[in-house]
Amino acid sequence: MTLPTTLSFARLCFITLLSLSLGACAGRSAFPLVPVADAASSPQVAADHDIFIATTRKKADDPSFVYSGMRGEGLSFARIDVTVPAVHQVGMIEHARNGKPDPARFFTPTQIALYKEQSAFSRDLDASIKRKGDRALVFVHGYNTSFDAAVYRATQIVHDAKYPGTPVLFTWASAGRTLDYVYDSNSATVARDSLEQTLRLLAKSGASRIDIIAHSMGTWLTMEALRQLAITNDGDLDGKLGDVILASPDIDIDVFRSQMKRYGTPKKPFLLLLSRDDNALRISGLIAGNRPRVGGYDDDAALAKLGVTVADLTEVHSADRLNHAKFADNPLLIQMLGDQLRSDGGMRGDQSGNPASRVETFGSALGQTVASAASIVVTTPFEVFNVVLGQ
Report how far apart, in Å, the C-alpha atoms of 232 and of each of 62, 207, 240, 256, 341 are. Answer: 40, 20, 15, 19, 27
Report DSSP letters for 33-53, one per residue. Answer: ----TTGGG-TTEEEEEEEEE
Residues 6+ apart with CB under 8 A from 297: 253, 274, 303
Predicted confidence at residue 25, as pLDDT, reads 40
Residue 213: φ, ψ to 5°: -120, 120
- Picking from 255, 148, 292, 270, the residue whose alpha carbon sits closest to that of residue 213 is 270
**Residues 135-185: pLDDT tens digits?**
999 999 999 999 999 999 999 999 999 999 999 999 999 999 988 999 999
- How many residues in the chain? 391
Predicted confidence at residue 32, as pLDDT, reads 93
**Residues 359-375: pLDDT tens digits?**
444 444 344 333 345 78
Q: Give the chain's domain count.
A: 1
Contact 263, 341 (CB under 8 A): no
67-81 mean pLDDT: 97
Predicted confidence at residue 97, as pLDDT, reads 78
**Cα-trace Rg, the chain:** 20
304: CATH: 3.40.50.1820
Residue 68: φ, ψ to 5°: -100, -170
Range of the domain at 257: 2-389
- Picking from 278, 283, 209, 289, the residue whose alpha carbon sits closest to that of residue 247 is 278
Between strands 374-379 and 308-312, the pairing is antiparallel
Measured between alpha carbons, how far is 33 from 111 in angstroms, rounded to an integer? 10
Measured between alpha carbons, how far is 312 from 263 in angstroms, rounded to an integer? 23
Measured between alpha carbons, how far is 127 from 121 in angstroms, rounded to an integer? 10
Residue 91: φ, ψ to 5°: 95, -10
Contact 76, 55 (CB under 8 A): yes
**Residues 234-272: pLDDT tens digits?**
999 999 999 999 999 999 999 999 999 999 999 889 999
Q: Is the pLDDT assigned to residue 94 strictly greater than 70? A: yes
| Cα first-last separation, the chain | 58
For the chain, give the percent of residues with pLDDT over 70. 84
Instruction: Quickly list H helices, the chain.
Output: 2-26, 118-131, 147-161, 181-190, 192-203, 217-231, 253-263, 279-287, 300-304, 326-329, 331-342, 357-367
Contact 155, 162 (CB under 8 A): no
Of 36-45, 67-76, 96-105, minimum mean pLDDT range: 96-105
Predicted confidence at residue 385, as pLDDT, reads 79
